[in-house]
Amino acid sequence: MSPAAPPPQRANRVLLAMSFIACLAACAPRAAAVNYTASDLFTLGPPTGFNRVFPSFLPPGSLAPGRVVGFGGGSGSGSNFHALFWDGAATPVDLNPANFRSSEAHGISGGRQVGHGAGSPTGFDSHALLWSGTAASAIDLHPANFITSFALGVGGAGGAQQVGYGTFTTTTSNVHALLWTGAAASVVDLHPTLLTGFTTSSAWGTDGTTQVGYAYGPGTNNAAHAMLWTGTPESAVDLHPPIPGLDTSLINAMAAGQQVGNIAGSRKNEGQRARPERVGQRSCESGNRAHPARQCACG
């Protein structure tokens, strides 16, 4: 007998937020009051046997549940997290591939979803994954010579490009930004090669032509700088704003030639440096759990 469905209050309500603009507003003079309105878009229910769900991504301009991904868990998933996709009828689809213990989805575009998963086929290391709406469609994007990999964003016509990062085995860098076009063998290591002082990078979004994310290293006092690429490591552009007291910047997503993200400063706490939390940095009962940073701080 299937486990009973969780109570209605477990269903998630999706709210429309404006993270980057809100961060900038928070750093504006206190006299300039700004009001924002959150809109209740729709309800995302969990699959049978799941008692918790975490929607991860709602693309710009999407006001329908057919473009929402995330992850959830419960007795129906062996208490591990499974990647989820809510279709056009707000029906949850379990994307966890066969023989994978856990998975999470963090981006969606053009009928394709991206995230990561781990299980016996991966030696229980996290591998970047690409789906087309079903668990059986999963493609392992993990590139050779990397220990772990994570896909965070997808974009372009038909979801042609996927971006994320991997932990690399033959370099002193902690993490390198990665770009794929649908297969593990297509990977491009985007880590900046013409910009000096960067040892770590990660890509979070793409529109099919341009990729965005962040990078940091000794050259930035190990504080993240917003980065933009156009398909190659040599194309990396440091977008960090030249604002006094601003230490950290990163770009989370992009669409229609515009980029959004977060900034942070340490004017109140000199010497502290903020860095975005990486997917897989925090652990839980299912192994690595993703919680992309969405923070801003200002003096």
Residue 29's Cβ-side half-sphere holds a number of Cα atoms within 13 Å equal to 2
Residue ranges making up the domain that contains 181: 8-289
Q: Give the Cα separation of 205 and 258 in Å (integer).
A: 11
Query: What does the pLDDT read at residue 173?
Result: 56
Residue 296 resides in a domain: no
In single-letter form, the type of residue at position 133 comes to: G
Query: What does the pLDDT read at residue 83?
Result: 97
SS3 186: helix
Residues in the chain predicted with pLDDT less than 50, given as ranges, are 1-29, 31, 267-274, 277, 280-299
Q: Give the Cα separation of 218 and 271 in Å (integer).
A: 14
Work out how many domains the chain is built from and give that number.
1
Residue 50 resides in a domain: yes
Q: What is the pLDDT of residues 165-175, one digit of tens each?
A: 999 865 555 89
Closest to 124 in 3D by CA, of 168, 77, 154, 80: 80
Residue 74 resides in a domain: yes
Query: What does the pLDDT read at residue 66?
Result: 64
Query: What does the pLDDT read at residue 34?
Result: 81
Residue 230 resides in a domain: yes
**Letter string b/e over residues 198-219, b meaning 16 or more CB atoms within 10 A of that residue's CB:** bbbbbbbbbbbebbbbbbbbee
Query: What does the pLDDT read at residue 246?
Result: 92
Query: What does the pLDDT read at residue 269?
Result: 41
What CATH code is carried by the domain that includes residue 233? 2.120.10
Residue 294 resides in a domain: no
Query: What does the pLDDT read at residue 110?
Result: 87
Residue 295 resides in a domain: no
Residue 1 resides in a domain: no
Residue 298 resides in a domain: no
